[in-house]
Amino acid sequence: MNAIEIHDKLQARAAKGAAFLNEQKPLWADSIDLSCFNMDSRLDCVLGQLYEDFNTALNRFGWSDNDAIEYGFLLEPYGDRPLYETYDELTDVWRELIKARRSSVAVSYSVAKLRALKGAALLTSIREDEWWNLIKLDRLSMKSGVLCILGQLYGDYLYGTAALNDLTDDEAEQLGFIVEDDIDLSLEQINATYALLDQAWHEVIKLHREFTAA
pLDDT for res 4 = 78
pLDDT digits (tens, 9 = 90+) for 13-59: 999 999 999 888 877 888 899 999 999 999 999 999 999 999 999 99
| Mean predicted confidence (pLDDT) in 182-205 | 84
Percent of the chain at pLDDT above 90?
A: 63
* Stretch 127-134: mean pLDDT: 96
Query: Residue 106 pLDDT > 70, yes or no?
Result: no
**Does residue 193 register a pLDDT over 90?**
no
- Higher-scoring residue by pLDDT: 128, 1: 128
Q: What is the rounded distance in angstroms from the CA atom of residue 182 to the CA atom of residue 186?
A: 8
Residue 126 to residue 94: CA distance in whole angstroms: 46
- DSSP states along the chain: --HHHHHHHHHHHHHHHHHHHHHH-TTGGGG--TTT--TT-TTTSHHHHHHSSHHHHHHHHT--HHHHHHTTS-PPPGGGS-TT--HHHHHHHHHHHHHHHHTS-SS-HHHHHHHHHHHHHHHHHH-SS-GGGG--TTT--TTSTTTSHHHHHHSSHHHHHHHTTS--HHHHHHTTS-----TTS-HHHHHHHHHHHHHHHHHHHHHHHHHHH-
Q: Angle 87-102/3-24 helices, nearest 10 degrees?
A: 50
Mean pLDDT of 64-78: 92
Q: What's the mean pLDDT when you consider all of the chain? A: 89
* For residue 183, pLDDT beyond 60: no
* Contact of 105 with 47, CB cutoff 8 Å: no
pLDDT at residue 81 tops 70: no
Question: What band does 61 get if pLDDT is binned at 50, 70 and 90?
Answer: very high
Which has more pLDDT, 21 or 104?
21
Distance from C-alpha of 178 to C-alpha of 129, rounded to nearest angstrom: 23
pLDDT above 70 covers a percentage of the chain that reads 92
* Domains of the chain by residue range: 3-102, 109-213
Q: What is the pLDDT of residue 184?
A: 64
3-state DSSP of 168-192? CHHHHHHCCCCCCCCCCCCHHHHHH
Q: How far apart are CA 48 and CA 52, in angstroms?
A: 5
Please give the pLDDT value at position 42. Answer: 95
CB 22 within 8 Å of CB 97: no
Residues 137-150, mean pLDDT to the nearest whole number: 96
Residue 163: C-alpha distances to residues 57, 126, 151, 201 (Å) = 44, 9, 11, 19
Query: Nearest 10 degrees: CA dihedral of 125, 127, 118, 182?
Result: -130
pLDDT of residue 58: 97
- Residue 157 pLDDT grade (very low, low, confident, very high; cuts 50, 70, 90): very high
Q: What is the pLDDT of residue 182?
A: 67
Q: How far apart are CA 101 and CA 28, in angstroms?
A: 9
